[in-house]
C-alpha cells in the first residue's frame, strides 16, 4: 500500500485526535473530512452556531439551534438576492 503525503488539515486532525481509537482517527483524518472539519468548524464558531468550552483539558462543543436557524435564513436570503442580481445582469447583457 502506497503512503501518501498528508495535507495540513490531515496533520491537524491527526494531532487533535491523537488519543482516539484508530477507526475514528482514520475517518477524521481522511483527506476531505479533515479539510471540511478544519474549514467548517472555525466558520461555525465565528458565526455563533457552535460554541467551544473547556472542561479541564477536554473541549466541549455546544450547538446553538436558534443561531443556526438564523444563519440558515440569512444564507437563504443572500442566495435569493444573488440569484436576482445575476438575473438582472443577464437581462442587461441581452439588451
Per-residue model confidence as pLDDT tens digits over 3-26: 678 899 999 998 988 888 989 889
Is the pLDDT higher at 67 or at 4? Answer: 67
**Amino acid 33: pLDDT:** 92
Residue 29's closest CA among 19, 48, 14, 44?
A: 14
Specify whether 22 is located in the same domain as 61: no
Instruction: Supply angle C-alpha 15, 8, 46, rounded to 5.
Output: 80
| In the predicted structure, residue 52 carries a pLDDT above the cut 60 | yes
Report the domain count for the chain: 2
E strands, 37-83, are 50-55, 58-63
Phi, psi of 51 (to 5 degrees): -120, 150
Say if residue 4 is in the same domain as residue 20: yes
Whether residues 32 and 68 share a domain: the answer is no
pTM: 0.64
For the segment 21-49, the average pLDDT, to the nearest whole number, is 91
Domain region containing 84:
50-95
Taking a C-beta distance cutoff of 8 angstroms, is the pair 7, 34 a contact? yes
Amino acid at each position: 500500500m502506497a503512503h501518501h503525503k498528508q495535507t495540513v488539515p490531515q496533520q491537524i486532525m491527526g494531532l487533535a485526535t491523537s488519543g482516539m481509537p484508530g477507526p475514528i482517527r482514520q475517518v477524521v483524518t481522511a483527506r476531505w473530512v479533515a479539510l471540511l472539519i478544519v474549514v467548517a468548524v472555525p466558520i461555525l464558531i465565528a458565526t455563533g452556531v457552535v460554541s467551544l468550552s473547556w472542561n479541564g483539558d477536554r473541549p466541549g462543543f455546544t450547538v446553538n439551534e436558534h443561531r443556526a436557524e438564523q444563519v440558515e435564513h440569512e444564507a437563504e436570503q443572500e442566495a435569493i438576492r444573488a440569484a436576482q442580481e445575476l438575473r438582472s445582469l443577464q437581462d442587461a447583457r441581452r439588451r
